[in-house]
Amino acid sequence: MDRADPTLAVEVVYSPRARQVDCVPLRVPAGCLLRDAVAASALVERHGLAMGGLSVAIWGRRVGLHEPLRDGDRIELCRALTVDPKQARRLRYKAQRKEKRPPSRPKQR
């Protein structure tokens, strides 16, 4: 950050679906809180998110809405999980096992 420039460069990102990311780069005043940057990004309104139930992170680390920002922070708006990760892993494993099985041979008499 340039000493003469009292603003911070941050970006706010949200992924509404897999492989789709909506990123808003911002310049915010020094001392800005995370909730102020989220509001300035307009991602909450654009995607119809509820601010009260919103989970946020900075570079993948969960933080609160009152977290002060630093230059270069990447604010991530996290969506709720639709599938339990453990269950998804089990289903992938079962599918892989079925693909690797050799075709069954008829029994010889």
CA distances from 33 to 1, 75, 105 (A): 17, 11, 66
* Mean per-residue pLDDT, 36-61: 90
Pairing of strands 20-29, 74-78: unpaired
pLDDT, residue 11, reads 97
Residue 1 confidence (pLDDT) above 90: no
Rounded to 5 degrees, φ, ψ at 21 are -130, 130
Instruction: Name the pTM for this structure.
Output: 0.71
6-15, 81-90, 94-103, range with the lowest pLDDT: 94-103
Work out the angle at residue 52's Cα, subtended by the Cα atoms of residues 47 and 58, and round it to the nearest 5 degrees. 75
Given a contact cutoff of 8 angstroms between Cβ atoms, the answer to whether 48 and 32 are in contact is no
* Domains of the chain from N-terminus onward: 7-100 (3.10.20.30)
* Mean per-residue pLDDT, 53-57: 87
Whole-number percent of the chain with pLDDT over 90: 55
The token pair that represents 98 in the structure block: 């079925």
